[in-house]
Amino acid sequence: MLDHAAIMELRTRDDTSWSERDAMLYALGVGMGADPMDGNELPFVYERGLKALPTFAIVPTFAGGPLFRIGLDTRYLLHGEQAVTLHRPMPASGTGTVEGRMVGAWDKGAGKGAVFAQEKILRLDGDPEPLATVVTTAFGRAEGGFGGPTEGQPAPHRVPDRAPDRSVDVPTMPSQALLYRHSGDLNPLHADPEAARVAGFPRPILHGLCTYAITARAVLAACCDFQPERMLHHQARFSAPVFPGETITVDLWVDGDAVSFQARVKARDVVVVRNGLSRLRKEAIR
């Protein structure tokens, strides 16, 4: 049986490093550079004047962490929400440390699952100030009834009740998941047709973190003039999988420095990301 107090005391500390090659591979994995003549996207996939996507902070913080020390049944574990906060622009290469802690564990009741949230703070070597904070929320379908609190989980962001101000269509490639997995998530669900069938899908699905980054791409293109230093925060809740090769439509609601969003696959009439929120810096750093 899981112990709530023990879960909340979990702490981890891991060394990490990343290179310009990692930053470019990540950008390619989320679809940047599909048109090699696009001068807006080229700086994310080409070493001359290289820029790192804000959501690239997920890559050097991906491994380790307290979430997988709890003893959850990973066969029934679903990625629920993701958030990245950039305290400063993400560099394309670096070395640092990642400090992890649990920030929440909520019991939905026997047979109803439980929600677990971990926070990871990335710091560059020699710098005491955080570079990025990454929060991952997971839904454990098998853990309901473990005795944790039933209330207190943060409410999801609500998108405005009006037509979106802008919509951005982002095609994905049939091989998108095979490329994205080289940024760290090697789960066979995204590559092996048999593993996908066992999990209940007709074919491999796109990584949720790839879909998440695609929504950030849409915000960068529509609201930031492709200036990654303007994105301060990006959060989203996953609601359905995307199959590689599908086109993702990202609907955006712009209210000052807050951009609400959701994403859908029009071909299947399904919403794949809900309750999205980006917070932006009004001007680029000079």
Active site residue 185: yes
> Exactly one of 22, 185, 234, 251 is catalytic; which is it?
185
- The DSSP symbol for 264 reads E
Instruction: Find the helix or strand (DSSP H, E) in which 214 lies.
Output: helix 208-223
Are 57 and 132 a contacting pair, CB within 8 Å?
yes
| Residue (of 97, 114, 112, 84) closest to 4 by Cα position | 114
What is the distance between the alpha carbons of residues 52 and 55, in angstroms, rounded to a whole number? 8
Q: What backbone torsions phi and psi does residue 8 show, to the nearest 5 degrees?
A: -70, -15
What is the distance between the alpha carbons of residues 107 and 171, in angstroms, rounded to a whole number? 37
Active site residue 127: no
Tokens of 40: 């807006």
What is the distance between the alpha carbons of residues 229 and 223, in angstroms, rounded to a whole number? 12
What is the distance between the alpha carbons of residues 84 and 235, in angstroms, rounded to a whole number? 6
DSSP, collapsed to helix, strand or coil, labels residue 260 as strand
CB atoms within 10 A of CB 42: 19
> Exactly one of 190, 207, 234, 251 is catalytic; which is it?
190
What is the distance between the alpha carbons of residues 261 and 282, in angstroms, rounded to a whole number? 18
Are 230 and 281 a contacting pair, CB within 8 Å?
yes
CB atoms within 10 A of CB 156: 15
Amino acid identity, position 231: M
Sign of CA dihedral 233, 239, 243, 248: negative
| Residues that are catalytic | 185, 190
